Amino acid sequence: MLMRLARLFRAIVPRLGMGSRRALSVPPVSLVYYTAGPRDGEPWVFLHGMGSMGVTWRPVVKALRRSCRILVPELSALGGTAAPEGGLGIRQGAAVIARLIEDEWGGRPVTVAGLSLGGWMAVRLALARPDLVSRLVLIDAGGYRNQNWDRIQELVTISDLAGVDRLYRALFLRTPWLLRVSRGAFLESYTSPGVKKILTGTAEADTFDDRELARLSAPTALIWGEGDGLFSLEGARAMAAAIPASTLTVIAGCGHAPHLECPDRLIEVLQTFRRTTPAGGAPPLVPAEAPAAAMSGATHLPSGVK
């Protein structure tokens, strides 16, 4: 059932405003990705979370596509990408996305945004290839070493619908209606080969600590749902304190997936980051209403966002 739904999504995604579907061969990977926006637009890459698909970025792509050139890669077989064991590992994914940026933009640095697993992969990309990342956006990102990984592993390792319900309570304050009516498909996605590869093949060495975060040179926006029950707000604050040029924005009334629960508020934060932080590796412009926020790692709160 899950693969039938995935094929259906892949067939209709271009009609949903996600742009053109393309493929890039990086043996042994055949990467499927979507392109939207003008070729001379501001370059962005959006990386989705574990057990998910690129189409979940649709509201964000729709909001930015008039002025941005957007790439949305599929990180597992759920979205049509062919890779060993059904999906991309953390470092493998970072290497493949680097190749995609080189292929699409000739190595021009771009803004890389990632959610959860995608944020983890984005950090690894920025550390390995800082020349390719002009700005970094980490949305409820995974990968920070100093947190309770036993608890996280227990939450994301599911085998039945009771496990789905437990994970939903950690991920969402208000579970989106589509996920409420598709618990069985969610179970299939979280027991798919690509997810199992991440759960069994990721090691402590793939995580990152404060010393590595201190090496990040790109201006970085951390965006966190206040009610994230998977990756804690305390961890986000520690990450923001470790990254030299960073802001942390906390979205009230939202859980682990702002792009699904609170897309309008997430888009507002992204647009604020675009306005206040120039691309191209320049230092962030500190908003007048929060003169110390951007450089200190303190929480910056745009209007309408707690």
Within a domain: residue 194? yes
For residue 233, give the CATH number of its domain. Answer: 3.40.50.1820
pTM: 0.88
Give Cα 143 to chain centroid, integer Å: 12
Task: State the residue for tokens 């209606």.
Answer: 177
Yes or no: say if 78 and 55 are a contact pair by the CB < 8 Å rule: no
The 3-state DSSP class for residue 226 equals coil
pLDDT of 33 reads: 97
State the pLDDT at residue 279: 76
| CA–centroid distance for 21 within its chain | 19
> Does residue 303 form part of some domain?
no
pLDDT in tens, the chain (306 residues): 444 544 544 444 444 678 899 999 999 999 999 999 999 999 999 999 999 999 999 999 999 999 999 999 999 999 999 999 999 999 999 999 999 999 999 989 999 999 999 999 999 999 999 999 999 999 999 999 999 999 999 999 999 999 999 999 999 999 999 999 999 999 999 999 999 999 999 999 999 999 999 999 999 999 999 999 999 999 999 999 999 999 999 999 999 999 999 999 999 999 999 999 987 544 343 332 232 233 233 344 332 333
Which residues form the domain of 127?
A: 2-283+291-296
Neighbours of 272 (CB within 10 A): 18
Tell me if 301 is assigned to some domain.
no
With beta carbons less than 8 A apart as the criterion, state whether 49 and 257 touch. Answer: yes
| 305 found inside a domain | no
Instruction: Say how many domains are in the chain.
Output: 1
Output phi, psi for 112, to 5 deg. -110, 120
Q: Looking at the domain assignment, is residue 304 inside a domain?
A: no
In a domain, 302, yes or no: no
